[in-house]
Chains A and B, each alone.
Chain A
Amino acid sequence: MVNTEVPKMNDIYKLLSQIKDPEIPEINIIELGILRNVEFENNKYKISITPTYSGCPAMKMIENQISEILKNNFYDFEIITNLSPAWTTDWMTDEGKKKLIESGITPPQKNFNSIEFKLNKINCPYCNSVKTILKSEFGSTACKSFYFCENCLTPFDYFKSI
Chain B
Amino acid sequence: MNLKNKNVVDYLLQLGDDRLILGHRLSEWCGHAPILEEDIALANIAQDCLGQATFFLNAAAEEIGNGKTTDDLAYLRNPNQFKNLLIMELPKGDFAFTIFRQFLVDNYTFLLYQQLQNSKHNQIANIAQKSLKEVKYHLRHSSEWVLRLGDGTEISHEKSQNALNELWAYTNELFNENEIEKKLAEENIAIESFKLKNEWLDKVTQHLKTATLKILENKEENIFNGRSGKHTEHLDHLLSEMQIVVRAYPGAKW
| A binding-site residues for B, Cβ under 8 Å | 51, 53-57, 83-88, 113, 115, 117, 135-140, 142, 146, 160, 162
A137: contacting residue among B47, B50, B125, B141, CB under 8 A? B141
Question: Are A54 and B40 in touch, CB under 8 angstroms?
Answer: no
Q: Check if A138 sits within 8 Å of B44, measured CB to CB.
A: yes
Residues of B within 8 A of A83 (CB): 55, 123, 126-127, 129-130
Question: Which of chain B's residues 89-148 have a Cβ closer than 8 Å to chain A?
Answer: 110, 122-123, 125-127, 129-131, 133-134, 136-137, 139-141, 144
Q: Chain B: interface secondary structure?
A: helix
- In the assembled complex, B45 has its CB within 8 A of some CB on chain A: yes
B160 an interface residue at 8 Å Cβ cutoff? no
State whether A115 and B37 are in contact (beta carbons under 8 Å apart), knowing that A54-B48, A54-B55, A83-B127 are contacts in the complex: no
In this complex, the member of B47, B125, B136, B140 whose beta carbon has the largest number of chain A beta carbons within 10 angstroms is: B47
**Known contacts A83-B127, A83-B130, A115-B140: does B48 contact A142 (CB below 8 Å)?**
yes
Contact B51 A56, beta carbon cutoff 8 Å: yes
Given A54-B54, A83-B55, A117-B140, is A142 in contact with B47 using a C-beta cutoff of 8 Å? Answer: yes
Q: Are B140 and A55 in contact (CB under 8 A)?
A: no
CB-CB < 8 A to B134: which residues of A? 53-54, 162
Identity of the chain B residue whose Cβ is nearest the Cβ of A135 in the assembled complex: B37
A-contacting residues, B35-50, CB 8 Å = 37-38, 40-41, 44-50
A115 and B129 CA atoms in complex are apart in Å by 14
Beyond A85-B129, A137-B41, 16 additional pairs, beta carbon < 8 A: A53-B134, A54-B50, A54-B130, A55-B48, A55-B49, A55-B50, A57-B47, A83-B55, A84-B125, A115-B139, A115-B140, A136-B37, A138-B40, A138-B137, A139-B40, A142-B44
B84 lies within 8 A of chain A by Cβ: no
A-B contact pairs, 12 of them (CB 8 A): A54-B50, A54-B55, A54-B131, A54-B134, A55-B50, A55-B51, A83-B127, A84-B122, A85-B129, A86-B133, A88-B133, A136-B38
